[in-house]
Amino acid sequence: MDTLEPLIAEHPFFKGLEKSYLELIVGCASNVRFDAGQFVFREGEEANQFYIVRRGKVAIESSPPGQKPINLQTFSDGEILGWSWLVPPYHWQFDAKAVELTRAITLDGKCLRNKCLEDHSFGYELLSRLVPVLGKALEAARMQLLDVYGVQQQR
């Protein structure tokens, strides 16, 4: 039976992770597939996973009342998608929809949260890797909002 360990170990997000921590992560991982147009998650739903996009594209969207959805960010090959599994109350803040056939590795957030509680060093290691992902996501959202609302930056 094939394991996801080589794929996860080679991903930049997990590169250099202690073997014991890598084994904890692999124990919470599985492969998933989304067809074009299929929702990966919906705003307001319980958030208990995050994803490593292997191949494909996923759009993060916000749907203002009575308007068409606004694309806030698109994730593609190699990118980490989703962090609401980490922050109470563990609910998705946006919709995520596959733009094209997408294959990903999903990591079970409940599983990882429990492992972090059992081993605080593992929790710190995982969190220290997630903070830059969060920063990148916030910066991308800021840039998209500037673009959507046509705000010109002054220098």
With respect to residue 155, please indicate whether it lies within any of the assigned structural domains: no
Burial 75-107 (b: 16+ CB within 10 A, else e): beeebbbbbbbbeeeebbebbbbbbeebebbbb
Q: pLDDT value at position 153?
A: 52
CATH number for 79: 2.60.120.10
The whole domain housing 10 covers: 5-148
Residue numbers in the chain where pLDDT is lower than 70: 1-2, 144, 148-155
Q: pLDDT value at position 1?
A: 44
Q: Whose CA is closest to 86, among 57, 69, 110?
A: 110
pTM: predicted TM-score of the whole model, two decimal places? 0.84
With respect to residue 15, please indicate whether it lies within any of the assigned structural domains: yes
Dist CA 108 CA 28 (whole Å): 5
CA–chain centroid gap for 74, Å, is: 11
